[in-house]
Amino acid sequence: MADARGISRRHMGLGAVALGGGLAFASLPADPAAAAAPTRGDGRPALRHGSAREAGLLPGPLKQLVADAEAFLQPSPRHPWYAGAVLLAGRGRTVALHKPIGMAVRYQAYDEETDTGVEFPPDRQIPTAEDTVFDLASVSKLFTSILAVQQIERGRIELEAPVASYLPDFGRAGKQDVTIRHLLTHTSGFRAWIPLYTAPTYEEKVQRVYDEALAGPPGTAYLYSDLNLISLQLVLEHVTGRRLDVLLREEITEPLGMRRTRYNPPASWKPKIAATEDARRPWSGLDRGLVWGEVHDENAYSLGGVAGHAGVFSDAWDLAVLARTLLDGGVCGRKRILRPESVELMFTDFNTAFPGDEHGLGFELYQHWYMGAMATPRTAGHTGFTGTALVLDPTTDSFLVVLGNSVHPVRSWRSGSAPRVAAANQLARAVPVRPARGRTAWFSGMASAATATLALPALDTSSGVARLSCALWWDTEPKADVLVLESSADGGTTWEPVPFTTRRPGGTAEAHPTGTATGWSGRVWHDLTAELPAAPGLVVRWRYTTDRLYVGRGAYVDGLRVEKGRRRLFDEARPADAARLRAEGWSRETG
């Protein structure tokens, strides 16, 4: 099912390009039972449970992550966002949080007249567990995409080849120029969705895809569509001679030891599977009653449960194994499923022509609407309509899995992506930022719809050139959340921006003529200098302002100093001067 898209998307540069059907790779920087844990080449587990400290994470935000998630088990605002969820967060090879909350199975039906859920008797309700299996919905698209990139590696598919060169019937209705890349990046021109389940046979469903006309010319717009991945499924099955479920098992889940990931789980799994929706018209396309142990998506169900866009079931640990494999360049233990340069294609934006809709091959990139403060130009992930999400951040080597049954008992109970954003914000917050120069640094906080200020005391800059210097670290939602350096010569009645220059380690100087910083700065400390206006009582401050939607990781300031010639007007390193700083919303943090 086509997932609801978010509001805020941002732009990044292309790091890998496709040329004439070939690939030009850019050089880019890059516990279940122990017996069941995949191992590295040296025999040690590829993943293990451990403490936040062992993962290099702060424990406080991880505790808050759980508290935030549990709040969505209550009306938010009118109904619970999900009946239950499993949360998993880790960094490096350590899973520091693996927490089930709420119920995997709670409701037997939905009463539309009273807009309430009809609960199972207490003895038939099932709480979530660490190994509860969820219908991943559109997160399934990632598996199809990985399988496609494998075939690109092996030369059976070319990225820039027309889909019709593999499936001649696909070229009908003006689709002859749609390429494999268009399918993987949702730029084919397909509309979002069509009701394939109304066609009586599998063959007729496929013919509907072949007969579907485009909403616009290929490559001219981004339009998220399930039809892209269904089409890619047909290509994969044609070039390999194997069904998609067989490909998934043989090429991904068996090599990685993902034992609880598959299409069409057997009946014996049902007690460990989270239930989804009481599927009935008019909110569902099919009258099926409580969907539990079968795929929720109507089109995937009508395709026999095996589809390129939906249908995969999995648990949190298996998805963590997949995340770790991709963050490690496609290898898990002695098993490699992708070459490192192929993985780079998934973390590299191919949609530079469509700012806000950044997309690698299969993976969405830099999407604050569900990645929250984890979002960077290389943060990759996907969501699923049933309430699922997977987020991978190569910058911090961290990963997040949120598996919820948010359509249980009915899809209309949830709105937006707030639980995903809240979880991602807390995991991002858990990655410490070490002070640049001392034991602590000033931190702006990460509150939405807020303004935080950090002001120096009034200084006499009236004679000679006064210069401010400090270390600055920022990562904000681009354009929406802004850090401003400003000054006032009239006691704070009016404020004017102060232009400044930053330089990152080993980099060139970057001018900020408007006195502002926003967006992505590499999550490294920058040296900052600024010439201050001349005034007998000049007040200089940092002001950090956020909108009501999403936030980045925030801003840090360290080592504030103001000098005029050889005279030091202010030095944060001097306790008396530091005590004169006025902070509203900013706090000292050790990192």
For residue 1, the model assigns a pLDDT of 57
| pLDDT tens digits, 239-282 | 999 999 999 999 999 999 999 999 999 999 999 999 999 999 99
**pLDDT band at residue 45 under the 50/70/90 scheme:** low
Q: Which residues contact 570 (CB under 8 A, 6 or more apart)?
A: 456, 457, 459, 560, 561, 562, 577, 580
Q: Is the pLDDT of residue 6 over 70?
A: no
Using a pLDDT cut of 70, give the percent of the chain over it.
Answer: 92
Query: Residue 166, CB half-sphere, CA atoms under 13 Å: how many?
Result: 24
Q: How far apart are CA 167 and CA 185, in angstroms?
A: 19
Average pLDDT rounded to a whole number, residues 358-366: 98
- Whether residue 11 is predicted with pLDDT greater than 90 in this model: the reply is no
pLDDT over 50 (residue 47) = yes
pLDDT at 46: 77
Query: 406 pLDDT exceeds 70?
Result: yes
Closest CA to 352 of 9, 7, 5, 23: 9
User: What single string gives the DSSP state of each residue in 331-347?
Assistant: EETTEESS-HHHHHHHS
Q: Is the peptide bond before 457 cis (omega within 30 degrees of 0)?
A: no
User: Are 181 and 235 within 8 A, CB to CB?
Assistant: no
Tokens read off for 258: 């993902």
Higher-confidence residue of 9 and 78: namely: 78
Q: Write the DSSP string, 400-463.
A: EEEEE-TTSS-GGG--SSHHHHHHHHHHHHHS----SSSS-EEE----SS-EEEEEPPPB--SS
Least confident of 17-31, 126-140, 194-208: 17-31
Angstrom CA distances, 449 to 69, 319, 427, 455, 551, stand at 21, 33, 20, 20, 9
pLDDT at 19 over 90: no
Tell me the pLDDT of the chain averaged across its residues: 92
Q: Which residues contact 445 (CB under 8 A, 6 or more apart)?
A: 452, 544, 554, 585, 586, 587
Please tell me whether the overall predicted TM-score, pTM, comes out greater than 0.85 for this model: yes
Tokens (6 digits) for 451: 């303004």
Enter the tokens of residue 540.
Answer: 């200089």
Q: Alpha-carbon distance 396 to 391, whole Å? A: 12
- d(CA 555, CA 482) in angstroms, rounded, equals 10
Q: How many CB atoms lie within 10 A of CB 42?
A: 7
Asked whether the predicted pLDDT for residue 9 surpasses 70, the reply is no
Whole-number Cα distances in Å, 455 to 142, 265, 267, 535, 554? 47, 59, 63, 16, 17
**In sequence order, which residues have a C-beta less than 8 Å from that of residue 30 and are 6 or more positions away?**
329, 340, 344, 394
pLDDT for res 139 = 98
pLDDT at 90 (0 to 100):
98
Tell me how far apart the terminal alpha carbons of the chain are, to the nearest angstrom. Answer: 41
Half-sphere exposure of 5 (CA within 13 A, CB side): 15
Alpha-carbon distance of 319 to 293, in angstroms, equals: 18
* % of the chain surpassing 90 pLDDT: 90
SS3 content of the chain, % helix, strand, coil (to 5): 25, 25, 50
Beta carbons of 242 and 18 less than 8 angstroms apart:
no
Mean pLDDT of the region 213-223? 97
3-state secondary structure of 520: strand
pLDDT of residue 510: 97
Q: What is the pLDDT of residues 437-493, one digit of tens each?
A: 989 999 999 999 999 999 999 999 998 899 999 999 999 999 999 999 999 999 999
Distance CA 51, CA 108 (A): 38
**CB-count burial class (<10 Å; 0-12, 13-18, 19+) for 553:** buried
The three state secondary structure string of 61-73 is HHHHHHHHHHHCC
Residues facing residue 584 across a β-bridge: 453
Can you give the pLDDT at residue 438? 87
User: What's the CA gap between 142 and 389, in Å, rounded?
Assistant: 11
How many CA atoms lie within 13 Å of 583's alpha carbon, on the beta-carbon side? 15
